[in-house]
Structure 1
Amino acid sequence: MWLRLRQLALVANKLSPVIDELRTVFGLEVGYRDPGVKVFGLENALLPVGSQFIEIVAPIQPNTAGGRYLERRGGDGGYMVITQCDDHAPRKRRVAELGIRKVMEEDSPGYCAMQLHPRDTGGSFLEIDFQPGGEAPDGPWAPAGKNWKQAVRTEVVKAITAAEIQSPDRNALAARWSEIVEIPLTQDARGNPTLQLENAKLRFVDATDGRGEGLGGIELAVVDRKRLLAAAEKIHRRISDDQVMIAGIRFTFA
């Protein structure tokens, strides 16, 4: 069985400023806006990074799950880790065996989704989805609509290579996610426990910014670092030669 990192969701107080910064710094473009998220009191935008996606959601009414998450984590930041699998049935059986609750579940001919309760997984929202006919890495992806490839821009960045989930107890969190996805843990060069997915890594790191558990960082494969850093410097988002900060997320470069 394979598991891919297909989409990372961020939550922000306001949608447009984050879109503008992702465009400016990484050269990305919006590929889709899902009108369906309005029922959750949200608006969103998905920006393709090669064949993967960064999604931003923002509340448009009071008392939404996204709004409460913003309050809990002290502002804009990471929200969901969304993966794609090649067979949904064994993934669902595993979740049932572990007694993990589901926040959302969809089983339709065109798409299957399973969003797991973060109180049972720890870290952040973890979603395991299945796309019929989506075996190829750049295959269809229902959450991004049908025409997302028209928005692909790879002049500055070309892929998401890792997601960093931070925790006060990174080892326990990593062990729990390893148990769920049935992938053995390894370690990176800094000793951080890591899960190697088919196309990217999930890296578990110490929470040192006072914001607690959550999706704290995204690593990107960079094509034009000079252009990226110059753009980030211009809008005061450059932290170092290896990091920029946008929407409460540490973006680092492979």
Structure 2
Amino acid sequence: MPVPRIRQLVIAAKTLETADQLGELLGLGESFVDPGVAEFGLENRVYAIGDQFLEVVVPVKDDAPAQRFLTRYGEGAYMAIFQTGNLKSLRARVDSLGIRRVWNIDLPDISASHLHPADIGGGIVSVDEPRPSGSWRWGGPDWRERSVPGRLVSLAIETPDPLSLAGRWALALGLIVDGPTLYVEDGALIFRKGAVERLAAFGIQVDNRDAVLARARELGLDVDGFEIRFAGVGLSLVG
């Protein structure tokens, strides 16, 4: 079965000013507004970085799941979207494991399933199969023209029991357990010790790391080495 890859990472925020600030911080291009997220009581902005995506979602309804997340945790990493080449097999596997699929869609150009965060652990996980494989509906029709150089290289997940949660994700995504780190196509999932289960940090390869760090300081953000604390998420910059 094809190894999944990180395709899109999502931050839940209180206002769209957070999306504007993310774009300014990382030097991103114009964002895409996806009207489809209204189904989840959200509005959003999606930025293309290479052939991957950073999204900021903002709840516009009090009963939106993202609003419950913000009430409980504050702004932070909300969702990870993986690309797979065989969603049919993955759906069958998670069903056999008792991992609930809370949302499914099958369109001509993409199929997707959201896995229940209480079952997968750590946050909302979506697994999507675009057709053709290089396309990405959620990025907008012109995402290639708006994309800036860079790459999403890792996702860090905090949990009281890193090995146990890594094993659960490995079973769901069809990966090999290699201690507290799972390797996806051209990236890594890093499970580290934390008080609660949560998506904690995004590893991002950028061409202009020093410039990004300088902008972070100008914006008054906390900077620790090459990691910027932004909207409850650690943005770990790789040069």
Report the TM-score, using the length of structure 1 for normalisation.
0.89
- Name stretches of at least 5 consecutive residues in structure 2 with no aligned partner: none
| Residues 179-231 of structure 1: per-residue CA shift (max 9 Å, x gap) | 111211224xxxxx1111112111111125xxx22111001112112211110
Secondary structure in 2 matching 1:186: coil
What's 2:33 paired with? 33
User: In structure 2, how many angstroms separate the alpha carbons of the residues matched to 1:61 and 1:108?
Assistant: 26
User: What secondary structure is seen at the aligned counterpart in 2 of 1:160?
Assistant: strand
How far apart are 1:172 and its partner, in Å? Answer: 1.0
1:164 matched to 2:156: yes
3-state secondary structure, aligned to 2:215: helix
Q: Given the superposition, is the C-alpha separation of residues 204 and 30 from structure 1 closer, same or farther in structure 2, using an over 3 Å criterion?
A: farther
Residues 79-158 of structure 1 mapped to structure 2, 5 A cutoff = 79-134=78-133, 139-154=134-149, 158=150
Moved over 2 A (4+): none
CA shift, 1:108, in A, is: 2.4
Distance 1:175 1:125 in 2: 17
Partner of residue 9, structure 1: 10
Equivalent in the alignment of 1:21? 21
Percent of aligned positions that are identical: 32
**Cα distance between partner residues in 1 of 2:31 and 2:44:** 11
Q: Which of the residues 172, 176, 190 maps onto 1:203?
A: 190
Query: Partner residue of 1:58?
Result: 58
2: CA distance, partners of 1:85 / 1:240: 34
Aligned-residue offset at 1:24: 2.1
* Unpaired stretches in structure 1, ≥5 consecutive residues: 188-192
Tell me the residue number matched to 2:225.
Answer: 241
- The equivalent of 1:42 in structure 2 is 42
The residue identity in structure 2 corresponding to 1:173 is L
- Aligned residue in 2 for 1:190: none
Aligned partners of 2:30, 2:97: CA distance in 1, in Å?
A: 37
